[in-house]
Amino acid sequence: MSEETPRGPHIDTLCIHGGQHHEPVTGAVMPPVFQTSTYAQEWPAKHTGYEYARTHNPTREALERCVATLEGGTHGVAFGSGLAATNALLQTLPGRAHVVCGDDVYGGTFRLFTKVFEKHGMTFSFVDFTAMAIEEAIPERTALVWLETPTNPLLKVFDIAAVAARCKAIGAKLAVDNTFATPIFQRPLALGADVVLHSTTKYMNGHSDVIGGIALTADEAIHTALRFTQNAAGAVPGPWDAWLTLRGVKTLALRMARHQENAKQVVAWLAAQADVSRVYYPMHAADPGYAIASRQMSGFGGMISFDLEGSLQRAETFCASTKVFTCAESLGGVESLLELPATMTHASVPAEQRRARGLADGLIRLSVGIEDPGDLIADLDQAMTASKA
């Protein structure tokens, strides 16, 4: 009789217990909020390992350990926003490094790359990994490949393992923004990525009351460089933000399951609408990314995009007419949101570039929450009618 290979805790369990322990002095089950800027030292430079809160904070460290565990990494480095985490990773590269990025990317990332780092000598190429050979898309001089997958807002799916193999062959590093999928549905480190990033503002926290970011890795050199930059630049989250995010993570598995359940019903409704020319959702069998998504993802959450027939004005009217969905930027909260990328999250991308990449003026992005799905569909239905007037 063969012996079964012992398995570690399920990710649902890790959401609640991963990287955490009871507070040793009082036995508090939930890690406390250490609201302090500094720590007493027994003797000059003789301390407990905590000297200044920009460098170390126990609440922040609990969050870092927890999310690292969820992603299958050994280290987490938390920041004050998702863009701060992105900025820190780019700062670890040589000054004239070349970065390859997916062509469909969050507008804030595009702005940071092209308006900040290009001024300091870095070069960027934005490529569609679904339409180019990987060897052509990633030249040998590349220092870093940046992937969102699924992407924002067109929800393209890129083959993480294939890109990772190319990066390894040429000595480049691979960073994957896993904000949309979360470790519940996708674990890029296991597929060969070197570092995973999240805007913890989104699904990780899940309640639209925190701004934060985090980078996870099992690479000691990347961790050391990120930790140095975190301390040197100081873009750290406050302890309350870390605590709120850690509390949110405890229900991540439950929330993602409900987001997905609701999204599938909304996708089915949208696909049947004559005024919707295309629905973007990678776990829908009609989506171009479905084959890769089914291979590297175990599911997907509540992010849906769709092309609404008609003018930009009609799309604006649709977004302004919903009553359950709130027209707002951001995503991943328990409440449903919708937005118009052309004038909101991706307004920093020049219009001609947006359209060339397939981001139409009538593209609407939904973040489907955990409300009753019938109420959500009824709300979209009445907005559809209102936008025709």
Compute how many other C-beta atoms are within 10 angstroms of the C-beta atom of residue 116: 13
| Nearest of 215, 211, 209, 207 to residue 252 by alpha carbon | 207
Contact 130, 156 (CB under 8 A): yes
Q: For residues 26 and 207, what is the distance between their CA atoms, to the nearest angstrom?
A: 28
**Residue 78 vs residues 39, 56, 66, 343: alpha-carbon distances, Å:** 20, 11, 11, 30
**How does DSSP assign 62-122, residue by residue?**
HHHHHHHHHHT-SEEEEESSHHHHHHHHHHTS-TT-EEEEESS--HHHHHIIIIIIGGGT-
Confidence tier at 372 by pLDDT (50, 70, 90)? very high
Which residue ranges make up each domain of the chain?
11-249, 254-388
Q: For residues 114 and 117, what is the distance between their CA atoms, to the nearest angstrom?
A: 6
Q: What angle do CA 58, 249, 61 make, to 5 degrees?
A: 15
CA-based end-to-end distance of the chain:
70
Three-state DSSP at 363 gives strand
Joined together, the tokens standing for residue 144 give: 């870093």
* pLDDT tens profile 299-324: 999 999 999 999 999 999 999 999 99
Type of residue found at 151: T
Type of residue found at 19: G
Compute how many other C-beta atoms are within 10 angstroms of the C-beta atom of residue 319: 22
| Nearest of 174, 198, 49 to residue 109 by alpha carbon | 198
Residues in the chain: 389
CATH architecture of 11-249: 3-Layer(aba) Sandwich (3.40)
Percent of the chain at pLDDT > 90 equals: 90
Confidence tier at 20 by pLDDT (50, 70, 90)? confident
Above 60 in pLDDT, residue 2? no
* pLDDT tens profile 120-142: 999 999 999 999 999 999 999 99
| Nearest of 336, 338, 337 to residue 372 by alpha carbon | 336
Stretch 192-212: mean pLDDT, rounded?
Answer: 98
* pLDDT tens profile 63-96: 999 999 999 999 999 999 999 999 999 999 998 9
CATH architecture of 254-388: Alpha-Beta Complex (3.90)
pTM, entire model: 0.95
Above 80 in pLDDT, residue 7? no
* Strands ordered across the beta sheet of 142-148: 75-79, 213-217, 195-199, 173-177, 142-148, 98-102, 123-127
Q: For residues 320 and 129, what is the distance between their CA atoms, to the nearest angstrom?
A: 34
Type of residue found at 68: A
Above 50 in pLDDT, residue 1? no
Which pLDDT does position 3 carry in this prediction? Answer: 55
Contact 195, 182 (CB under 8 A): no
Three-state DSSP at 39 gives coil
Above 90 in pLDDT, residue 6? no
Compute how many other C-beta atoms are within 10 angstroms of the C-beta atom of residue 262: 24
Which pLDDT does position 5 carry in this prediction? Answer: 56
Q: Which residues, 6 or more positions from 374, have their beta carbon under 8 angstroms from its beta carbon? A: none
Catalytic residue list: 54, 106, 177, 202
Phi, psi of 131 (to 5 degrees): -120, -5
Q: For residues 37 and 29, what is the distance between their CA atoms, to the nearest angstrom?
A: 23
Q: Specify burial of residue 341 (Cβ count, 10 A radius: 0-12, 13-18, 19+).
A: buried
Mean pLDDT of the chain: 95
Confidence tier at 348 by pLDDT (50, 70, 90)? confident
Above 60 in pLDDT, residue 267? yes
Which pLDDT does position 22 carry in this prediction? Answer: 87
* pLDDT tens profile 140-199: 999 999 999 999 999 999 999 999 999 999 999 999 999 999 999 999 999 999 999 999
Q: Specify burial of residue 326 (Cβ count, 10 A radius: 0-12, 13-18, 19+).
A: middle
